[in-house]
Structure 1
Amino acid sequence: MTGTFETIQFAIDAGVATLTLNRPDKLNSFNETMHQELRDALELVASGRRDGSVRVLVLTGAGRGFCAGQDLSDRSVAPGDEMPDLGDSVERNYKPLVLALRALDLPVIAAVNGVAAGAGANIALACDLVFAARSASFIQSFCKLGLIPDTGGTWILPRLLGPARALGLTLLGDRLGAEQAEQWGLIWKCVDDEALQSTVQAVAAQLAAGPTFGYAQTKKAIWASSTNDFEEQLVLERNMMTVCGRSNDYREGVAAFIDKRAPRFKGD
């Protein structure tokens, strides 16, 4: 299954949906059309999750960059004109995008193939697993324009890195290479450039064949831990374990273990 879009590429194969940001001449920076098409594509992913055709999402970029953030030429203002309301842009575009990504009931993998700057960096970091090419980099470029990090950056960065490193990256706007991003725990793994796509495809295939119902509950539990206290998290674990224990995936996993065969998970 494929979708026809102007600024992105979208395809589904063997349970893996691949969404490629496709404005390589602009380093895949966001404009209004891309935002609308991303929302449409994520609706297709959510629909595919419900009918069983999609079990994993891979998000990547075309060309030499992952995403350079906002396309500033899409916000050009003539001298004397009133400046745009950037808060409105966040509310209409970036907020629903990152919320839709985080709400997906399946594993989401970012394959960062080049520079990920501004909102492009934070969209990648909102995914569940982030793989980055060795030549890739992450830049919180908002400070160069007198802005604050958006797309969840002020929430994600201190939780992944602590306030000292989060402030250093966001106030200075320094480039953070993929190797150091892995060492700091910002991303899951840095791999050689030529191995990025094959590595991500292998992981996506592994996850697509796995118990995706349990994966979805695991995601929810991990993210909930940032606001729950320890006892609240234990209650959540109990409740989710009850739900998982009644799932067909758990039933199949136990049966496969007893029968000494490979499980055939369906994601429910």
Structure 2
Amino acid sequence: MSGEVLLEVADGVAVVTLNAPERRNALTPAMAGELVAALDEADARPEVGAVVVRGVGRSFCAGGDVQTLTDAGRDPAEPGAYADMGAIYDSFLRLGRVQAPTIAAVRGSAVGAGMNLLLAADLRIVARDARLLCGFLKRGMHPGGGHFVLLSRLVGREAAAALALFGEELDGAAAVRLGLAWETHDDDAVEDRAHELAARVARDPELARLAVTSFRTETGPPQLGWEAASQYERPAQMWSMRRSAG
């Protein structure tokens, strides 16, 4: 483990920290694997009744690591490249399946895969000056990871089109207005507020885990399932990556 993902547990709350500020917490396959391992550990500890995901530095998560995307773009169907991209997808899916309620504490920017990561949480608290940008098409890539499902289940079809297809960007106030986040705060208050909410539900971890299972089953992604959407998008994303590497 490189220390690019940290896990701390206290009073029933697990805090998972993305800790690669030199690349703005952009996900490599190895970092994604560390994230999955941290979430596995949180699940294995029955005293954990809530999970907060945060990022160190100027960004929550700047997306997929550029070098990883470039390497995969040369031949996205090559087994190693396919597995590396799959590892990044797996980290979103794993967060969405954590046994306890999850909160994303978002400061700075979240782009592409970083958006998928915060969208995978059950609740979002974002900074007023946060920059939330889907960004896939801007980079010449088709969205991946079930992006359209994750986004539209929160903001609806019209706003999802504006964000994912037409490149609109949100700050904290706009995110709350659209229903993408619960609250927006000054940068230095975001994580404290997320922890306050997490601590509230974590007082009864057994009930929290049972309740969030029902919550996700009853309110989950519409129409095409999330995992199916992730696979449905994948061939188009692979095509766009190969074209960009061209």
TM-score interval, smaller chain: 0.7 to 0.9
1:84 maps to which of 72, 76, 79: 76
- Retained in 1: the 8 A contact 2:60–2:107? yes
Q: Is the 8 A contact 1:135 1:193 kept in 2?
A: yes
Matched, 1:119 2:113: yes
**1:75·1:84 contact (CA, 8 Å) conserved in 2?**
no
Q: What secondary structure, in the 3-state scheme, does the structure 1 residue paired with 2:40 have?
A: helix
| Aligned mate of 2:10, from 10, 13, 16 | 13
Residue type matched to 1:24 in 2? P
Of structures 1 and 2, the larger Rg is shown by 1
Select the residue among 18, 21, 27 that pairs with 2:24: 27
Counterpart residue type for residue 84 of structure 1: P
1:159 and 1:90, CA in 2 relative to 1: closer, same or farther beyond 3 A?
farther
Q: Which residue of 2 aligns with 1:266?
A: none
Does 198-207 or 57-66 show the bigger shift? 198-207
> CA, structure 1 residues 12+212, in 2 after alignment: closer, same or farther (shift >3 Å)?
closer
Q: Distance in 1 between matches of 2:220 and 2:66?
A: 35
Aligned pairs for 1:32-111 within 5 A: 32-49=29-46, 52=47, 54-77=48-71, 82-85=74-77, 88-89=82-83, 92-111=86-105
Match of 1:251 in 2: none
Aligned positions of 1:110-149 closer than 5 A: 110-149=104-143
Higher RCO (CA < 8 A, seq sep 6+): 2
CA distance in 1, matches of 2:129, 2:197: 20
1:167 maps to 161
| Contact 1:125–1:187 (Cα < 8 Å) also in 2 | no
The amino acid of 2:75's aligned partner reads M
Q: CA deviation at 1:220?
A: 2.8
**TM-score of the aligned structures, taking structure 1 as reference length:** 0.74
* Partner residue in 1 for 2:215: 222
Could you tell me how far apart the structure 2 residues matched to 1:201 and 1:227 are? 24
Counterpart-to-counterpart distance in 1, 2:9 and 2:175: 30
Specify the SS of the correspondent of 1:141. Answer: coil
What amino acid is aligned across from residue 141 of structure 1 in structure 2? G
Q: Percent identity?
A: 31
Question: For 1:227 and 1:22, how far apart are their aligned partners in 2?
Answer: 29
Map of 2:227 onto structure 1: none
- What is the rounded CA distance, in whole Å, between the counterparts of 2:214 and 2:199 in structure 1? 23
Residue 137 of structure 1 deviates from its aligned partner by 2.0
- Output the amino acid matched with 2:189: A
The two structures, once aligned, show a CA RMSD in angstroms of 2.5
CA displacement, residues 231-250 of structure 1 (integer Å, 9 cap, x when unaligned):
xxxxxxxxxxxxxxxxxxxx
How far residue 73 of structure 1 moved from its aligned partner, in angstroms, is 2.0
- Opposite residue 12 of structure 1, the aligned amino acid is V
In the alignment, structure 2 segments of 5+ residues that lack a partner are 223-246
Q: 1:33 to 1:77 in 2, by over 3 A?
A: closer
1:203 and 1:188 mapped to 2: Cα distance? 11
Does the CA contact (< 8 Å) of 1:90 and 1:150 recur in 2?
Answer: no
